[in-house]
Amino acid sequence: MTDFFEFEADFVDSLRCIPMQVRCKLDTCGIKLKLSDWNQMTTAERQALVELPCTTETEIQSYREHIQQLILQRTGIPATKLPIEPYPAWLDSATVPPSLQEKAQEIGVTLTQQHWAGLTPLQRFALIKLSRPGHENQNFKRAIAEFNLL
């Protein structure tokens, strides 16, 4: 999968920031990747992280091993492991996370279960990530608009 969102358009050509699809794969395989580590990778290495699959258990394990090796090679420090959610909210099309609903309401948007179910898992992942406290939230509004939720 190499789908980029419109709200990522200002950096996807250079891959200077970690795109949502890679961030989703990182959460799926339980690895933390700092932007500073990402920026030490070559463009080809970043592109490979975009393109490598990370869906099945075998793919997830392979992706985890690949990113761990890459981080170690580039930084000399082992990758930080994160807990893997057994039932991530972005895969649950039936329930809009309350924290996301609150964030949407702050900008005058009510997310219905039908809206939520109509989104792809990656779109749901992006909204969850973009709605977190402390995140640069300008892209949250852009994502809401891009996903036709206004």
| 81-107 residue pLDDT tens | 999 999 999 999 999 999 999 999 999
Same domain assignment for residues 67 and 98: no
Tell me, yes or no, whether 50 lies in a domain.
yes
Residue 144's pLDDT is 95
Kindly give the parts of the chain with pLDDT less than 50.
1
What pTM was computed for the model? 0.92
The range of the structural domain enclosing residue 10 comes to 6-81
Same domain assignment for residues 17 and 75: yes
Buried-exposed string 113-132: b where 16+ CB fall within 10 A, e elsewhere: eebbeebeebbbbbbbbbbe
Same domain assignment for residues 39 and 74: yes
Residue 1's pLDDT is 47
Q: In angstroms, how far is CA 37 from the centroid of its own chain? A: 16
Same domain assignment for residues 19 and 53: yes
- Domain end position, chosen among 47, 81, 115: 81
- How many structural domains compose the chain? 2
Buried-exposed string 8-36: b where 16+ CB fall within 10 A, e elsewhere: beeeeeebebbbbbbbbbbbbbbbebeee
Tell me, yes or no, whether 1 lies in a domain.
no
